[in-house]
Amino acid sequence: MHRPRVVLRGLFCRVAISILIAFGLTCGFAKAQPVTLPIIEKPHEHEAGQFGYKPWYVPNAPAFDRFNRPYMRDRVVDQHPTTSIQTIRDGRWVRKSFVGAIKAAYPTFASVRYGGGTLGASITFDEDDWLYTLLRIRLEDMTDRDILLYSTDYGDTFKVVELPNDEPPGSKPEGFANMEQRVGGNSLKRPPMLATLRKRANHPLGQWTAHYNMFLIQPRKVNSAIELSTPTLLTPNGLYMSRHAGNPSFAVSGPNKTYVTWAETTPGNYFPGVPTLIATVDPETMEITDRKFCGFGYPPNDGHNSPGIVMDPRGYLHVITGSHGENFMYAKSLLPYSTAGGMSEPTTMLKHGWLEFGYSRGRQSYLSFICTSDGILHAAFRQWYKGTEPYFLDNYFGGLSYSRKPSEGEWPADSQLMIVPPLNGYSIYYQNLTKDRQDRIYLSYGYRNENPEYGTGEAENHYLGLMMSADGGDHWRLVTTQDFMQNMSPEVAKDATPMPATVSGIVVDGDGRPRSGVTVTAVTTSVTTDAQGAFAFAEVLADNFPIVAVREGFTPGAETVTLGGAKSQDVKITIRPVPPATAMQESPASSAPPIPKK
């Protein structure tokens, strides 16, 4: 029995961890003000309303090239669209579009499906600094394709490779793809290993799963292009991989072998959870050997229970099972760079947080998992709290939590509560944990709950945030553009020197009359037009981005800001009255099949 913690522990005994919060980004460079964790979200305000956090990038999970420049997929509130990768050039954020490459490969390309993060938004760089990201696209005939986008020139150009699909022509893939991520220790001397899951059969007992054939694919470089190995079946009982939240890496590559972890379905729900396994893969021959058991993740046959793997600097493999509202289990390989020796006995990762009937236990979901070069393991997850924190004392809540430990030793009994939600009951954060080339840790997140007044539906791209720790998790702050710039390599000093600009303009209607009270949004910052229809943004650290004008009763207007080397640009945006007879049309997003988000 664990000793229950006193409820007021959070008020008097929590370690003060500071965050630097960005302020005033529409009228000057970011200023900072320390606050203590956890961030206590206010309804409908969150970081933008509470702290003035309005960066010149759209927050997402960042990846970093060898010069430590950031790369993030763009996204909007709608869970489907993504068109480019955001990075910093010449002191400003720019967008490297991949739409042209997709259209060249698929002339009937219609849209991206779940590109905002539901099927993941990870970017991986290999040792040669080739960039990789996965997408699902839809063609005009309403069939879907899973594709690997890659770039050999930091996003200036892209190429497309279609992932194999063993389903009948014209059918929609009832599975998806996954990609190895740079999570620590994996050298990525080769392109990242891929996994594809294809639905084999429905599962009679699984609410959020089915039986999937899980295949492994090793991309290879041939004449400056990517070719894919023949898919190798890992298991016919693969479990759905939860990529919308947590999105841990399923694979890590060592000098000669790659190590993969996965979860499997079971015939019935009488098992203690989802069996989680690990194996060694020879990337040259695709031979799979030394399959070993890592632990069970409760409950059984639940696709939210995705495990994650990292490799520490000594080559030991660390696996955390998934869970959907109970405890993660942790195991470590007994030999470095090998699964042949088996794994340590699985142990619970968390001991406190949920107090019930005099007992305290950990309850976790949606694992994010990385390892820094000092051998410290870092994890972030959604955690259920009840009776142990001074928030929502009469109810439970789902917080965003963080924990760390050395590669040797045990996980701490308590986690660090990072974010307290604005409402009790259900919450989800869609978080991702990544790191840069200097071991600074990044935690990206959004927010949704099931309260109808929030109106966030099934999209995860609301109330976006990105935190960073430069000291291994001791202190955190919301990330400004200058935070990204200050640790770039000297070779890209031009990119790391801020080049602020001013963007101003006017909003007019179809007759050319200025319109007041129009909300004009540039990236994450919004202003309102004055009586003359004018607006302005100062200290803009972005280029080639859309600027959108919205007012009730009018169709939205948009223009693209293209500064180049200029320090200012004037923009004229036209909005037109909505015709009275126009009927509401169902959007493609609203007609998309639902994906479980619990």
d(CA 493, CA 487): 10
Query: Is residue 299 reached through a cis peptide bond, with omega within 30 degrees of 0 on the bond before it?
Result: yes
pTM, rounded to two decimals = 0.91
Q: Which residues face 278 on adjacent strands?
A: 261, 292
Q: Give which of 188, 108, 99 is closest to 135, Cα–Cα.
A: 99
Average pLDDT over every residue of 55-84: 95
Average pLDDT over every residue of 313-324: 97
Query: pLDDT (tens digit, 9 = 90+) per residue, 162-191?
Result: 998 765 554 455 568 999 999 988 989 999
| Percentage of the residues of the chain whose pLDDT score is greater than 90 | 75
Give me the pLDDT at residue 462, please.
83
Strands lying side by side in the sheet with 477-478: 432-435, 441-445, 465-469, 477-478
d(CA 369, CA 280): 20
Length of the chain: 598
> Phi/psi of residue 104, each to 5°?
-65, -35
Report helix, strand or coil for 484: helix
DSSP at 3:
P
Query: Is residue 38 reached through a cis peptide bond, with omega within 30 degrees of 0 on the bond before it?
Result: yes
Which range (5-19, 222-236, 335-349, 381-395) has the least confidence?
Answer: 5-19
Q: What is the CATH number of domain 501-577?
A: 2.60.40.1120
Residues 92, 541 contacting (CB under 8 angstroms): yes
Q: Give which of 312, 98, 338, 63 is closest to 180, Cα–Cα.
A: 63
For 266-361, where are the alpha helices, taking DSSP H only?
none
Task: Name, in order, each residue with C-beta under 8 angstroms of 249's C-beta and a sequence gap of 6 or more.
Answer: 180, 181, 183, 186, 308, 309, 310, 369
Query: pLDDT (tens digit, 9 = 90+) per residue, 108-145?
Result: 999 999 898 888 899 999 999 999 999 999 999 998 99
Q: Give which of 317, 372, 310, 321 is closest to 347, Cα–Cα.
A: 321
Residues 109, 100 contacting (CB under 8 angstroms): no
Query: 181, exposed or middle or buried, with CB in 10 Å at 0-12, 13-18, 19+?
Result: buried
Query: 3, exposed or middle or buried, with CB in 10 Å at 0-12, 13-18, 19+?
Result: exposed
Q: Which helix (H) or strand (E) holds 519?
A: strand 519-522
Name residue 105's amino acid.
A
Residues 80, 587 contacting (CB under 8 angstroms): no
Q: Which two tokens stand for residue 436?
A: 């840069």
Query: pLDDT (tens digit, 9 = 90+) per residue, 506-519?
Result: 999 999 999 999 99
Give me the pLDDT at residue 460, please.
61
Query: What are the boundaries of each domain within the chain?
Result: 501-577
Query: pLDDT (tens digit, 9 = 90+) per residue, 393-445?
Result: 889 999 999 999 999 999 999 999 999 999 999 999 999 999 999 999 999 99
Instruction: Say yes or no to pLDDT of 552 above 50.
Output: yes
Report helix, strand or coil for 109: strand
d(CA 522, CA 244): 26
Give me the pLDDT at residue 592, please.
34
426-442: b or e for each residue (b if 16 or more CB lie within 10 Å)? bbbbbbbbbbbbebbbb
Residue with structure tokens 């309102």? Answer: 528
- Say if strands 39-40 and 416-420 run parallel, antiparallel, or are unpaired: parallel
Query: pLDDT (tens digit, 9 = 90+) per residue, 269-282?
Result: 888 999 999 999 99
